[in-house]
Amino acid sequence: MFIQTIDILGTVAFAISGVLVAMNKKMDPFGVFIIAFVTAVGGGTLRDVLIGATPVFWMQDMTFILVISLASVFAVVFRNYIKHLRRSLFLFDTIGIGLYTVIGIEKGISADLHPVICVTLGTMSACFGGVIRDILCNEIPVIFRKEVYATACILGGLAYFGLDAFLQDQNLLFLIAGAVVIAIRLVAVIFKISLPSLYKKNS
């Protein structure tokens, strides 16, 4: 029940971030829903396909379709109350990657995969919905820029396995790992910390 709650919260966060991007692009209602949908389930769909968990999660539980639909309607109806769309997008996107990272790790552990692969699955679960969203919206995906994005997911995954030997409460472990992802992303943006670029300007 706890894991499902985290999964749903992550879905809501990503769906709203997708709606905000789509509205910035002035899409019609159908376009807004499609962007919200692929943002919310894109990473998890890829994760499930890779581990052979088919039909994928949202095809087996209509709760996710309902949640995405309600979150999309909420974001559209109250768009005038969501001040500073860019800041709101960042917030919901950050919450989403934190929650989906731990969900992906849990799926990997359930499939008896190596911890490195579990961290990779968590990172993919968290990031690839946003990658699909940005590509469809004709934007360079955040994961391919200098911003600390996938790195936060990886560090959160490492924190999960680093604390696993010390924490008996699995729910608390999930919360801490997700919070690490969110905190690292927030700190990186607030203090303008970014990864170095390989591009060098000609002198």
Instruction: Using the predicted structure, report yes or no on whether residue 203 has a pLDDT greater than 60.
Output: no
Instruction: Using the predicted structure, report yes or no on whether residue 11 has a pLDDT greater than 70.
Output: yes
Instruction: Using the predicted structure, report yes or no on whether residue 83 has a pLDDT greater than 70.
Output: no
Q: What is the pLDDT of residue 199?
A: 60
b/e string for 35-66 if b means 16 or more Cβ within 10 A?
bbbbbbbbbbbbbbebbeeeeebbeeeeebee
Instruction: Using the predicted structure, report yes or no on whether residue 133 has a pLDDT greater than 90.
Output: yes
Rounded Cα–Cα distance for residues 15 and 138 (Å): 18
Provide the 10 A C-beta neighbour count for residue 190. Answer: 8
Tens digit of pLDDT for each residue in 46-63?
Answer: 999 999 999 999 999 999
Instruction: Using the predicted structure, report yes or no on whether residue 161 has a pLDDT greater than 80.
Output: yes
Instruction: Using the predicted structure, report yes or no on whether residue 70 has a pLDDT greater than 90.
Output: yes
